[in-house]
Amino acid sequence: MIFVDVHAHLQDKRFEDKAKIVDDAVKKGVKIIINNGLELESNRETMELAKKFPAVKAALGLYPTEALKLSEKEIDAQLSFIKKNKNKIVAVGEVGMDYLRSEEKERQKNIFSRLIGLAQEIDKPLIVHSRKAEEDVIRLLEEKKAKKVVMHCFTGSMKLVKRIEKNRWLLSIPCTVVRDQHFQNIVKEVPITQLLTESDAPYLSPAPGQLNEPANIIRSIEKIAALKGMEREEVANNIFSNYKRLFE
């Protein structure tokens, strides 16, 4: 049985012993951890982590609020770096839009649109952040006819969840599903064939106030199994199949 974490940030400075974090996860069956970069430094760190640990796969991205700090020339350089490393990565992420932290909506749309185009050009899935910008993110993905999409930690309405489902995109469920009704509702409503699991480590721990780790994916699998009325192994196998279909 293989567990999958499609969204982690092991480059976070709070993880002092990264080898232990990865080893603990692997020993518990989390054999795939997609580490998501946020800007140039963390993208480079992500590449190093993927080189060092066989379980870690690299996703290179440009977080929306980080992108806004950059000039157009600097954004060009970031996109070039991702393109140059296309054969070493499994996805473009973390990317998207965030209206909670910035109201520069038009520039965010422009940058995200370019990242969607890049992912399509290099034929990689997008791992998408959409805080308080869910409808605009979905609309832009639809306009660009994006096919390979993972909606990370999606907090939009169930009406928008249905739109994601209709587009055949996937939703990655965070470890807070053990205590969060919204994510429990998503699990109940969305077919298992369109679900993935994520830690967003060190964030979104199943236990409030604690650092999250990829090993906690197992708690998510157990909760999804309970909500779906399925066996734990059946859920894990379905999510692993979803991972392989999208990322391999």
Give me the residue label for tokens 């490393």.
Answer: 85
- What fold, for 3-247? TIM Barrel (3.20.20)
Sorted by where each begins, the domain ranges of the chain are 3-247
pLDDT tens-digit series, residues 91-135: 999 999 999 999 899 999 999 999 999 999 999 999 999 999 999
- What predicted TM-score, i.e. pTM, was given to this entire model? 0.98
Mean pLDDT of 152-175: 98
pLDDT classification of 165: cutoffs 50, 70, 90: very high
Helix (H) or strand (E) holding 105: helix 105-122
pLDDT for 83: 98
Q: How far apart are CA 77 and CA 55, in angstroms?
A: 28
pLDDT classification of 193: cutoffs 50, 70, 90: very high
The token duo for 166 is 């209709």
Output the DSSP codes for 42-64: HHHHHHHHHHH-TTEEEEE---H
